[in-house]
Amino acid sequence: MAFVALHPGAEVTGEELVAVPALRPDVAIIHAQEADREGNVQLWGIPGVQKEAVLAASRSLVTVERIVDELRPRPGGVVIPGWSIDLVSLAPGGSRPSYSLGITERDNDFYRAWDEISRDRESFSAWMQQHVLEAQPA
């Protein structure tokens, strides 16, 4: 259900605004740089809406590059409190092929190859078979 409303000044511009209900996902899964032993998570770089996804979801899973004894404040860092997270799992390299700023590097070769792989169903299916369905844990 959407709601249409006129905003202040609309009598001049005629502009209407539309409001929609907030998303409330059942589960949010995100990846971050680190968590402390209390379950608090810190991420930095370009966090997007990861914090908002966790706070909006009924349940959340956060994978992290490392678990530390204590979170050290970082410029631009976002801390998600442990009380809002259901499970934290150690997953080094879990952001691959993307990156975790300051910890892992972006796999640019993969991104270049993926454009072609993802355009063709057979190429995509073969890639999924090799790298997901038949992949062995490292």
Write down the pLDDT at residue 51: 95
Q: Is-contact 101 44, C-beta < 8 A?
A: yes
pLDDT tens by residue, 41-86: 999 999 999 999 999 999 999 999 999 999 999 999 999 999 999 9
> Residue 5 belongs to what H/E stretch?
strand 3-6
Q: How many CB atoms lie within 10 A of CB 82?
A: 16
Write down the pLDDT at residue 22: 85
Angle at 86 between CA 84 and CA 87, to 5 degrees: 125
Write down the pLDDT at residue 59: 97
What's the mean pLDDT in 78-95? 96
Tokens (6 digits) for 77? 């860092």
Q: Is-contact 73 44, C-beta < 8 A?
A: no
Residue 132 CB burial class (10 angstroms; 0-12, 13-18, ≥19): exposed
Residue with tokens 């993802």: 118
* DSSP E strand boundaries for 9-127: 16-19, 27-36, 41-43, 59-68, 78-80, 87-90
